[in-house]
Amino acid sequence: MFRQPFYGVLPGLALVLALVSPLLLRSAAQAPVSSSTLALTGGRVIDGTGGAPLERATLVVRNGRIDAVSRETEGAIPPGATRIDVSGKTIIPGLINAHAHVNNGDPALPLFEQLVQQMRLYAKFGVTSAVTLGDDGKESVRVRDDDERSALDRARLFVAGPPVVAKTVEEARQLIDHNAELGVNVIKTRMNGNANDMTPPVYTAVIERAHQRGLPVAAHLYYLKDARGLVEAGLDIVAHSVRDQAVDNAFVAELKRRNVAYIPTLTRDLSVFVYEATPAFFNEPFFLRGGAAYDAEVKQLQDPALQQKTRASAEAQTIKKALDQAKRNLKRLADGGVTIAMGTDSGTGLGRWQGYFEHVEMEMMVEAGMSPMQALVAATGAAARAMRLDGEIGTIAPGKRADFVVLNADPLTDIRNTRQINGVWIAGRKQ
């Protein structure tokens, strides 16, 4: 497995690497090409960093990792590599959902198999990694660890374990220790803006203990006042939009200064009211990739009684306004240089579609004023950085996991072109 604590380094690691690197490089240069070496040629590569696309590129994959990426005229294709012509197509890093859930499995299956089933569903839509912000913490960790032992036929799973909400400082520390011992990648906490919320000393203890255990902290929230307090206490990731009021310049600057990531989850709010009637996307061919995994919820959401209940819901009408505020805040934060990561809250709640909503989220980001490139970075390189996974995934670069999507059209001309999927590759294997 790969978990990346981000506080501290192993003593002497730099010296060890300095001594062995030349030997490793010589060994790599002399290593024979294996049957698992691939060369995708002639396509456009958008690498997930925000840099200019590389036209007519060659992408070499060896043993599940990216071996090289270069202009077609510059990059030598290893002898014996399997060549795949992707001329006229665009390669992007696999999409990463930085705020996902895995609560929608088939209850007839054991939990482990339910989780695997959902990760396969994400992969069908080009989502090659998902960070579940709230899960059982046992079977989810088993699935995460199994990702490293098996030939992957599904998206990678990263884990927060049970959300940490404590009443006392001591309980906060105990809950963090429990999740850390489970082997999670990140801690999830929440503030709902009511009398049952944690006090500042308690949520500060959550964040401090998590950092002591080498774990970043993401917070469910809604209100700007809660976001301010959590950020001041050392929060790493804002896991939902601020929706009650406009963010100000001081808040934007503080997030940037502290390198706090922001996950808007716009589709979470969309799902509260979009089913007032049957949405047009139910008939969209790309949505229908979800197949049987979507069928039961689609049928439920077409019930006239449920649609009428949604139309009459005060929450639905309130969330419409909140979503407008969320979009305005997203534009201001993105313009201010804050790290924006893509997440959807998919996999929990009715009509929050695992796989499909990640593409809708990027479309909504662009509607809010982000460029297609900014939305793509949010869904790839920035999502990986937010979750401290960027040493392994998120960008197309030598040494990274070979998780990428080949598209039939350029998403920089229209972000909806992320739906024009030609092929999904995880660990160098076509799904």
Q: How confident is the model over 307-326, as pLDDT tens digits?
A: 999 999 999 999 999 999 99
Average pLDDT of span 169-187: 98
Report residue 151's pLDDT band, with 50, 70 and 90 as the boundaries. Answer: confident
pLDDT score, position 32: 40
Average pLDDT of span 3-7: 43
Pairwise CA distance, residues 245 & 403, whole Å: 38
Report residue 217's pLDDT band, with 50, 70 and 90 as the boundaries. Answer: very high
- Determine whether 249 is exposed, middle or buried from the number of CB atoms within 10 Å of its CB (0-12, 13-18, 19+): exposed
Encoded tokens for 419: 């739906």
Contacts of residue 187, defined as CB under 8 A and 6 or more positions apart, other chains included, come to 160, 161, 164, 176, 179, 206, 210, 215, 216, 217, 218
The CB density around residue 422, as the number of other CB atoms within 10 Å, is 15
Beta strands in 145-191 (DSSP E): 156-159, 187-190
Pairwise CA distance, residues 144 & 147, whole Å: 5
Average pLDDT of span 240-256: 98
pTM: 0.91
Encoded tokens for 156: 């990678």
Average pLDDT of span 15-25: 34
Encoded tokens for 166: 């404590």
Q: Quick check: 1 pLDDT over 60?
A: no
pLDDT score, position 324: 98
Q: What is the mean pLDDT of the chain?
A: 92
The radius of gyration of the chain from alpha carbons, rounded to an integer in Å, stands at 22
Phi and psi at residue 82, to the nearest 5°: -75, 120
Report residue 2's pLDDT band, with 50, 70 and 90 as the boundaries. Answer: low
Contacts of residue 342, defined as CB under 8 A and 6 or more positions apart, other chains included, come to 95, 96, 97, 98, 263, 358, 361, 362, 365, 375, 378, 379, 382, 383
The fraction of the chain above a pLDDT of 70, given in percent, is 91
Give how far Cα 39 sits from Cα of 26, 42, 176, 256, Å. 22, 10, 44, 39
pLDDT score, position 30: 35
Encoded tokens for 171: 């309980």
pLDDT score, position 104: 83
Place of tokens 């809604």: 222
276-309 per-position pLDDT tens digit: 999 999 999 999 999 999 999 999 999 999 999 9
Please give the residue that has the higher pLDDT: either 30 or 62: 62
Average pLDDT of span 157-173: 98
Pairwise CA distance, residues 198 & 111, whole Å: 31
Q: Supply the DSSP string of 87-125, one letter for each residue.
A: TT-EEEEPEEEEEE----S-TTS-HHHHHHHHHHHHHHT
By the 8 A CB rule, do 191 and 228 touch? no
Using CA of residue 422, residue 428, residue 430, residue 431, what is the dihedral sign? negative
Q: Quick check: 80 pLDDT over 80?
A: yes
Q: Does domain 94-394 have CATH number 3.40.50.1000?
A: no
Q: Quick check: 336 pLDDT over 60?
A: yes
Query: How far, in whole angstroms, is CA 148 from its chain's centroid?
Result: 18
Chain length of the chain: 431
Q: Quick check: 259 pLDDT over 80?
A: yes
Specify the DSSP class assigned to residue 162. S
Beta bridge partners of 262: 238, 340
Using CA of residue 145, residue 148, residue 153, residue 156, what is the dihedral sign? positive
- Dmax of the chain from CA atoms? 69
Please give the residue that has the higher pLDDT: either 106 or 229: 229
